[in-house]
Homo-oligomer: A and B are copies of this chain.
Amino acid sequence: MDVPTLPIRRVGIDTWRESVVFLHRECPVVRAAGFQALAKVQVQANGNTLIAVLNVVDDAAICEPRELGLSEEAFRRLGVAPGHPARIEQAEPPASIAALHRKIAGERLERGDLHAIVQDIAAARYSKIELAAFVVATNQFELDRDEVFHLTEAMIAAGQRIDWQREVGAGPVVDKHCIGGIPGNRTSMLVVPIVAAHGMLCPKTSSRAITSPAGTADTMEVLAEVELPLERLKEITRATHGCLAWGGTADLSPADDILISVERPLAIDSPGQMVASILSKKVAAGSTHLVLDIPVGPTAKVRSMPEAQRLKRLFEYVAGRLGLELDAVITDGRQPVGRGIGPVLEARDVMRVLANHPEAPQDLRQKALRLAGRMIEFDPDVRGGDGYRIARDILESGRALAKMNAIIDAQGRRTQPFTLGTLSFDVTAPAYGTVIGVDNLRLARIARLSGAPQVRGAGVDLHVKLGERVRPGQLLYRVLAQFDADLEFARRMAADGSGFSLGAADQVPREYTAAPGEVL
């Protein structure tokens, strides 16, 4: 006797990266209750297999007793048409769960173990709770540097890999990346045109925001199309040497996206996981040379110089074994970079820097020039120490702006520009004092609640930065929104704590620079 089948129904529920299967409680073919506690079922149709969580349905309007409902994610993954017969069975635990249990028990994993785990994760065979178990078991001090290398290597192997040299036929493929956590830090949109104008290949794929108020892809999308097929990206890079596109269309390190869906809500971002996440994405995207930005500050991801140095060494070790040239730079992460937090506001700051506008935020400009300088020094024809000057010349001459316009036009200039939110409220200084703290996390959350990044024109516009003196009633920042409810959520969060601390001038925390004479 064969296992019976049920026709597939697409159920219009978006379960956010978790495949869910819906089975009616009175299904005459398969008893839903018997499966439910097991947490996972396996669906097979047309030679494809899907691992999913089971939800039992009592409402035939959602799923009939003789149907097998699939959530949007499950439907997409199984890839067969509605009505197609499918069979459902109890899912066997993925084979790599044995290795996961060894890691939970405190053992060191071998290369083969990590490859098996990552393959199962990339194939969506892990449930959310198994992913959480992996993330916790590999947290903090749990992975040694060779395990981090093998994890990174496995994550690269589990997806596609772009070979720019073959595609575009040029020398080094340079990139820059920040470990994150600093709002407004949109240096990529400045370094890409500068470095491309210098003649180096800089095809940057970046992410959309997950829990932050804007990702580079969200901000670039204010100006141009960012969802481009790989073939278009290659054409654009051939033509302009640079691009600023969303990386989600290529299947680059897919296990990373799945792990992030658990790491973010758990607020776990341990060194090993961060290194594997970033380097797997970069190598899969075809980068050969990478400048890495590690901001340090009281509300940054990295909060002390020794911690930053440890992280830097781990990045260097793994990059070295992967054959990726890495220049890891420790930067000032005491406060947001630039003025705007949110896609339209950040795009405004970027374009002002490119246009050498008098109101361009100087901190964003300086940081971008320094990072671009480091990238330019990957050019074997550039002398060590000359990068910054070359980058500044490119910016000041207008060549960076021209290159940015070329990239925007190549990707597809947005004809209907996004506008700033029309609702707003102001947060002002309660007393005289010097700004001695600007909380990155708080301002990011306020910007997020105001609607960013989904509402492109929402966010926070800073009017004062660290070290400035303020008087009572002086505007610290303005919050912009498009919807009443968003404005209200943001207002309550800001009322709870503005993110600004005032004090005496000598209380301003000093920048965690590496050593006197160091450029950054």
Contact = CB atoms under 8 A, between A and B. Distances in A.
A300 B487 CA distance: 58
A34 B4 contact: no
Contacts of A210: 37
Given A11-B62, A15-B55, A57-B14, A136 B132 contact: yes
A101 interface: yes
A137 B136 contact: yes
Chain A contact residues: over half helix, strand or loop, or mixed?
mixed
B33 A454 contact: yes
Indicate how many identical chains form the complex.
2
Interface string A475-515: 00000000111111100000000000000000000000000
Interface string A1-44: 11110000001111110000010010001110110111110000
Interface residues of A, number: 73
Contact of A265 (B16, B89, B106, B127): B127
Interface in A432-455: 448-449, 451, 454-455
A21 to B, nearest CB: 11
Given A13-B62, A131-B129, A139-B104, A455 B485 contact: no
Contacts of A451: 31, 34
A56 B104 contact: no
A72 interface: yes
B59 A13 contact: yes
- Most chain-B Cβ atoms within 10 A of its Cβ — which of A1, A136, A141, A483? A136
A486 B34 CA distance: 10
A429 interface: no
- Most chain-B Cβ atoms within 10 A of its Cβ — which of A25, A139, A449? A139
Contact of A487 (B1, B54, B449): B1
Nearest to A2: B488
A508 B188 CA distance: 68
Contacts of A133: 132-133, 135-136, 266, 268
A191 interface: no
A217 to B, nearest CB: 14
A130 interface: yes
A350 B13 CA distance: 47
Given A451-B31, A489-B3, A13 B129 contact: no
A419 interface: no
A361 to B, nearest CB: 26
A104 to B, nearest CB: 6
A267 B485 contact: no
B30 A22 contact: no
Contacts of A15: 55
A131 B79 CA distance: 32
- Most chain-B Cβ atoms within 10 A of its Cβ — which of A36, A133, A140? A133
A58 interface: yes
A292 to B, nearest CB: 24
A104 B484 contact: no
Nearest to A482: B31
A265 B58 contact: no
Contact of A106 (B3, B127, B141): B141
B13 A57 contact: yes
Contacts of A139: 104-105
A55 B16 contact: yes
A264 interface: yes
A209 to B, nearest CB: 8
A4 B129 contact: no
18 contacts: A1-B487, A4-B485, A11-B62, A12-B57, A12-B62, A13-B62, A15-B55, A16-B55, A37-B210, A38-B265, A55-B71, A61-B61, A101-B267, A104-B268, A127-B265, A128-B128, A129-B132, A129-B262
Interface of A: 1-4, 11-16, 22, 25, 29-31, 33-34, 36-40, 54-59, 61-62, 71-72, 89-90, 93, 97, 101, 104-106, 127-133, 135-137, 139-141, 210-211, 262, 264-268, 448-449, 451, 454-455, 483-489
